Amino acid sequence: MKKWIITVCLLIVSMSVARAKIVFQDDFSGAAGMAKDNISPEVSWDAYADAGAALLDGEGRLYSNDSALDSANWRLLGGTVDDAWANADVIKYTVVMRTPTANYINIGFQNTNVNGLESAAAEAGPFVRFRSVGNINLYGGDGVDLNLSKTFLAAYTGGSVVTAEVSYVVADQTVDIAINGVTLGTNLKITQTLGTVESTPTLFSLQINFKNQDTVENGGAYIDSLTVETFDSVLVKDTVFQDDFSGAAGTAKDNISPEVTWDGYTGVGLAVLDGAGRLYSNNSLSRDANWRLQGGVVSGDGWTDADGVRFTATVRTPTNNNVNIGFHDFNANGLINVSSGGGPYVCLTSVGNVQVYGGEGSENQIGGYVGLYTPGDVVTVEFTYWKSSQTYDLSLNGSVVATGIDVVHTISGASEVPVLEYFQINFNLQDSVENGGAYVEDLAIETVEVIYVDAPPGVIPEFVSVEAVSGNILKLLVHTSADALSGQTIVGRSSLSEGGWTNIPFANSSSGPFWITNLTYSAVEGTNYAVFVETDSPTGFFGVE
């Protein structure tokens, strides 16, 4: 995934031309007969090609006419075409369909094989199975249960007409899925396994596979329409807390003076500063020496409103016992205390292992990674939790350890949604710095959101950077040609699943005034043009039109 990273004071690390467009669209209104011979797409690429034995009924529906067929399919061949999805960051398909009342429909990607998505030879995945009982399965391989990545129960009633939106992030191998505009999950990690071997998905064809579906007249499932879009995805990272623990020696809650924080920030706990830039415990007999800050309750504070929250900490790892860093509910105790409602949190052990826990105490381990460092080493740990999908990503010293792992948050034996009221650093039986105890040198907490940027064909503007210049003002730096400015404007939307692109007010300075106009109302910066937009939402979608 190409990433734009934004902090309060701005840092942009990588970008390319933002390509987001509909590459295929059809309502299947062609003449009755073989779909591959009768489809006339409303939108497609040059040399568009399809294949398969599925049919059109002449009334706007793609279907199968034989309930005995388990691999009746229609395939859209775009995986090697630049104007289709060959080089896209994100591929999104939207289908309107009557869901099955028997068996299921599979929709997703595969290699060049002519068989259905369940065939091992198709090397399918990622693909989604829509079942007659209303359940949805996400698969990452050749159709067998071994490759089931995620299940959503009772997402619809079998036989009902629904709109399904599925987005696949190519670099991260993750999926977002929504039904009728309601998000079921985001950042869902798929494991592409062919047989027992993990591999990179082959996205040559997008296939709609009818599994033992009867005719439309006899109640079989059908597809009303299909839209395929490509996007450049942008990860926006906004720092909400940052400190290097350089305050005066003494109790951390009294001496920390954060470099970045929000209004009303307060820290609590018994951990201390050593006066030389280190947070630590000076009581080797305490399991609950901690420092914590409340940032997950009040809208506008900390990480309350964001879907993703990330912490990055530089830590001297323990040589005995452990250090725990992560989130918990309102309880004042340490993360490893069963009453803290802790989780998700990361445990750095004295044997070089990193463990991730999803619930109270240390009984709910959901991830264990062995031999990542030598005890006593100084390491940088980065942990991201995504609220909507309840998954985590973990990196150590800049190397990815895990992505898209489910967080099972269990309290008193019952699975619950994690409560992220507090962030805590917990020193478990750690001695002072002088005696070799673990310490934390610096900490950053950030909100992370994915946005999508749009650029039409023709004169293609390039988003060079995005900068947060104040609480609700973004600066968009656009590279385009001077003679195109009068014909281009800024568009936006709050959701990809609801509404559409609309013109939004912008200005040539951060102080406004903000108008709906064209890009001649911009500030020249070298060969680029700067505009400023106001945003009230933690998630935004912006483009040039």
Predicted confidence (pLDDT) per residue in 28-78, tens digit: 999 999 999 999 999 999 888 999 999 999 999 999 988 888 888 999 999
Same domain, 268 and 254: yes
Over range 505-509, report the average pLDDT: 94
The residue type of 72 is A
User: For the segment 334-391, what is each residue's pLDDT rounded down to a tens digit?
Assistant: 788 777 778 899 999 999 999 999 876 666 788 899 999 999 999 999 999 998 778 8
Tell whether 536 is covered by a domain: yes
Tell whether 254 is covered by a domain: yes
Strands 439-454 and 541-544: parallel
* Integer angstrom CA distances of residue 345 from 157, 245, 289: 37, 21, 16
User: At 185, is the pLDDT very low, low, confident or very high (cuts 50, 70, 90)?
Assistant: confident
Same domain, 90 and 225: yes
Secondary structure of 403-455 in HEC code, one letter for each residue? EEEECCCEECCEECCCCCCEEEEEEECCCCCCCCCCEEEEEEEEEEEEEEEEE
- Residue 14 predicted with pLDDT over 70: no
User: For the segment 104-147, what is each residue's pLDDT rounded down to a tens digit?
Assistant: 999 999 888 888 788 878 788 889 999 999 999 998 876 555 57
Same domain, 274 and 346: yes
User: For the segment 437-466, what is each residue's pLDDT rounded down to a tens digit?
Assistant: 999 999 999 998 876 655 444 445 677 888
Our count of domains for the chain comes to 3
Query: pLDDT value at position 497?
Result: 54
Domain boundary among 410, 428, 449: 449
User: CA 207 to CA 71: how far, in whole Å?
Assistant: 11
- Residue 266 predicted with pLDDT over 60: yes
Tell whether 467 is covered by a domain: yes
* 302: region left, alpha or beta (phi > 0 left; psi from -120 to 50 alpha): left
Residue 353 belongs to a domain with what CATH number? 2.60.120.560
Tell how far CA 286 is from the center of its chain: 38
Same domain, 197 and 121: yes
Strands 222-243 and 21-26: antiparallel
* Nearest of 109, 108, 123, 101 to residue 212 by alpha carbon: 101
The residue to which tokens 């018994």 are assigned: 270
User: At 496, is the pLDDT very low, low, confident or very high (cuts 50, 70, 90)?
Assistant: low
Same domain, 33 and 157: yes
> Which tokens in the block code for residue 154?
């009772």
- Residue 95 predicted with pLDDT over 60: yes
Same domain, 421 and 464: no
- Residue 197 predicted with pLDDT over 50: yes
> Which tokens in the block code for residue 320?
């005995």
User: CA 475 to CA 465: how far, in whole Å?
Assistant: 8
Alpha-helical (H) ranges within 114-177 are: none
Same domain, 509 and 402: no
Query: pLDDT value at position 188?
Result: 85
Query: pLDDT value at position 15?
Result: 28
Domain boundary among 407, 424, 449: 449
Query: pLDDT value at position 460?
Result: 58
Tell whether 327 is covered by a domain: yes
Tell whether 235 is covered by a domain: no
> Which tokens in the block code for residue 197?
């071997």
Same domain, 221 and 314: no
User: For the segment 379-437, what is each residue's pLDDT rounded down to a tens digit?
Assistant: 999 999 998 778 899 999 999 999 888 888 877 777 788 889 999 999 999 999 988 99
Query: pLDDT value at position 317?
Result: 98
Query: pLDDT value at position 11?
Result: 27
Tell whether 71 is covered by a domain: yes
Query: In which domain, by residue range, is 174 found?
Result: 21-229
Same domain, 134 and 261: no
Over range 288-292, report the average pLDDT: 90
The radius of gyration computed from the CA coordinates of the chain, to the nearest angstrom, equals 26
Over range 253-281, report the average pLDDT: 92
User: CA 318 to CA 435: how far, in whole Å?
Assistant: 11
* Nearest of 232, 176, 169 to residue 466 by alpha carbon: 232
Same domain, 148 and 215: yes
State phi, psi for 77 to the nearest 5 degrees.
Answer: -100, 95
The residue to which tokens 């309880």 are assigned: 331
Same domain, 177 and 260: no
Tell whether 13 is covered by a domain: no
Same domain, 142 and 258: no
> Which tokens in the block code for residue 526?
């070298």
